[in-house]
Amino acid sequence: MTSTFTTRPVRLGTRPSPMAMEQTAHFAELFRSRHPGICLEIVTIVSEGDRHRDPLSQTDGKGAFTRSADTRLLDGRVEATISCAKDLPSPHDRAPDITVGAVLPREDARDVLVLPSGHSPATLADLPPGTRVGTSAPRRAALLRTLYPELEPVAIRGNADSRLSGLDSGTLGVDVMIAALAGLRRLGLAERASQILDPTQWLPASGAGVIVIEHRSDDPTTANLLAPLTHHPTRIVLDAERAALATLHGDCLTAASVHAVHDPAAESVTVHAVVLDPAGGTPIRTIASGPDTHPARTGRRAGKQLLNAGAAALLGNPS
């Protein structure tokens, strides 16, 4: 560690939403425990995704929750930023001067069905035809059209807490909504989950449940501070998932899922990947396995297998 960081705080950029602040507080505790002599200063940054309420697909959604933080990181106003991995642009869209420095242990990657407060417990299969199901994710909308075509996906926006408030008050414009279980747990609201969706059918988002801290690529001091805080099994699966998504030229607005599983006993990583038909048609699936020493290579192979099977047509990419 250099004297620079014993006299100047490390500034960490984060969104000001309740969920973002909770995950930031968790990381800050880890950082201060590991580096008790270094001041970590929290800098709140309102993202474009927070300012705009239109569907992300209408607001250049790639990086909508990270662009403002990236700008401050690259111009030196902060030394690091913290984000949900699923909100990061895919590596092919990422600024080359930004590097993932720490990856926290993966939380539960599953999605859940959330009902208005006071509603009797129900599952997606219990809901009557025409039920309006709120989601901001094309992946979730495509899954609804594929698995529950009688239900109506409706685009919604807002932070998790504001969505819950709108759902309960009837102002969100939907009857029920889909949310991330990890996010509800961070807010202490896991009991709001009426149904935890089976991840073998309802596929998780790429990077779901993973928190990452990034820094400038030319800043080895911050890199050295962050590296000891990385949870290596999670880094393995995240590298595999993001490599597959990059091969597909996908992002958080892509109707696709890449979910990797690490087997430490076998020293391997297995990538489950699917590209969904936004109209609800038959998805294209694949599985690839390889050594955990080269997770990105396995992820790229999974992505290529999907493209070879015709996934480009569903993605809207040229073949």
Domains of the chain: 1-104+209-230 (3.40.190.10), 111-196 (3.40.190.10), 231-319 (3.30.160.40)
**For residues 306 and 287, what is the distance between their CA atoms, to the nearest angstrom?**
9
CA atoms within 13 A on the CB side of 74: 12
> What are the structure tokens assigned to 123, written together?
């599952």
Q: What 3 state SS string does 224-244 have?
A: HHHHHHCCHHHHHHHHHHHHH
pLDDT for the residue 315: 87
Task: Check 87, 108, 111, 239 and give the catalytic one.
Answer: 87
> What are the structure tokens assigned to 170, written together?
């009837």
19: helix, coil or strand? helix
Q: For every one of its 319 residues, what pLDDT tens digit does the chain have, with 9 covering 90 and above? A: 443 444 578 999 999 988 999 999 999 999 999 999 999 999 999 877 666 665 555 555 556 678 899 999 999 999 999 999 988 887 767 778 999 999 999 999 999 999 999 999 999 999 999 999 999 899 999 999 999 999 999 999 877 888 999 999 999 999 999 999 999 999 899 999 999 999 988 989 999 999 999 999 999 999 999 999 999 999 999 999 999 999 998 766 789 999 999 999 999 999 999 999 999 999 999 999 999 999 999 999 999 999 999 999 998 754 4
User: Which alpha helices (H) appear in the chain, and where do they start and end?
Assistant: 4-7, 18-34, 48-51, 67-74, 138-147, 160-169, 181-186, 220-226, 232-247, 295-308, 311-315
The residue type of 289 is S
pLDDT for the residue 4: 40
The question of whether 87 is a catalytic residue gets the answer yes
